[in-house]
Amino acid sequence: MARASEIPHGRGLCVRVAGIDVGLFRADGRIWAMENRCPHAGHELNLQPNEFLTSDGELLMCRSHGARFRVEDGLCVLGPCPGAALRSFAVDVVEGIVVAQREELARIAAPASR
Ligand code: FES
Q: Assess whether pLDDT exceeds 70 at residue 110.
A: no
* Confidence at residue 56, expressed as pLDDT on a 0 to 100 scale: 86
- Tell me if 80 CB under 6 Å of ligand 1: yes
Superfamily of domain 2-109: Rieske [2Fe-2S] iron-sulphur domain (2.102.10.10)
Q: pTM to 2 decimals?
A: 0.84
- Tell me if 76 CB under 6 Å of ligand 1: no
* Confidence at residue 112, expressed as pLDDT on a 0 to 100 scale: 52
- Tell me if 62 CB under 6 Å of ligand 1: yes
The closest of 39, 93, 89, 29 to 67, measured between CA atoms, is 39
- Tell me if 23 CB under 6 Å of ligand 1: no
Residue nearest atom 3 in ligand 1 by C-alpha distance: 65
* Confidence at residue 20, expressed as pLDDT on a 0 to 100 scale: 87
pLDDT tens by residue, 56-105? 888 999 999 999 999 888 999 999 999 999 998 889 999 999 988 777 77
Question: β-strands 68-70, 59-61: how paired?
Answer: antiparallel
* Confidence at residue 114, expressed as pLDDT on a 0 to 100 scale: 45
Domain boundaries, the chain: 2-109
